[in-house]
Amino acid sequence: MPAPTPRRRLTGLAAVALLAGLGLTACGSGDDVELVEGVTEQVDALDNSFAPEEITVPAGAEIEFRNRGRNDHNVIPADPDEDWTIEVEDFKPGSPPTSVRFTEPGTYDYYCSIHGTATAGMIGSITVEG
């Protein structure tokens, strides 16, 4: 049994709405999201891998997921209690990047469910530093 993870609170809706207008989603705890501007890391979905597979970013930094392969992919948190999925429909080859930001330090593992499981195949990891 994996250890239960603490429940993550809703990010302030206003912030989310603003971010969504920019194609951003914000996840993590805290009503006041401290966004780090000017730091954008890219993760590319290729066929069938994420590159780079591991990145480290400061809390609040923008991470852009891009599908630069030729096939469908998705981005699913390995921890089922996290909920920052990028669905296939929103992540078609060549479509605009989808951004996420984590405001809470920690390790966020993820995978593509078409080409991997939480532990094997098309997997990746984001380390968020405080």
CB atoms within 10 A of CB 91: 21
Q: What residue is closest to Cu ion based on CB? A: 112
Q: Which is nearer to another protein, 16 or 36 (CB)?
A: 16
Q: Is 8 in the site for another protein (CB under 8 A)?
A: yes
Q: Is 115 in the site for Cu ion (CB under 5 A)?
A: yes
Supply φ then ψ for residue 84, to 5 degrees: -130, 40
Q: How far is the CB of 122 from Cu ion (least distance, A)?
A: 4
- Report the alpha-carbon distance of residue 105 to residue 80 in Å, rounded: 18
Residues 6 or more apart whose Cβ sits within 8 Å of residue 124: 43, 50, 52, 53, 54, 55, 109, 110, 111
Q: How far is the CB of 37 from another protein (least distance, A)?
A: 19
Q: Is 43 in the site for Cu ion (CB under 5 A)?
A: no
Which is it for the CA torsion 53, 39, 66, 100, positive or negative? positive
Residues 6 or more apart whose Cβ sits within 8 Å of residue 115: 48, 73, 121, 122
10 binds, among another protein, Cu ion, none (CB under 5 to 8 A by kind): another protein
Q: Is 38 in the site for another protein (CB under 8 A)?
A: no
Q: Is 116 in the site for another protein (CB under 8 A)?
A: yes
Q: Could you list the residues that contact another protein (CB under 8 A)?
A: 1-2, 4-5, 7-11, 13, 16-17, 20-21, 25-27, 42, 44, 46-49, 51-52, 68-72, 80-85, 93-94, 113-117, 120-121
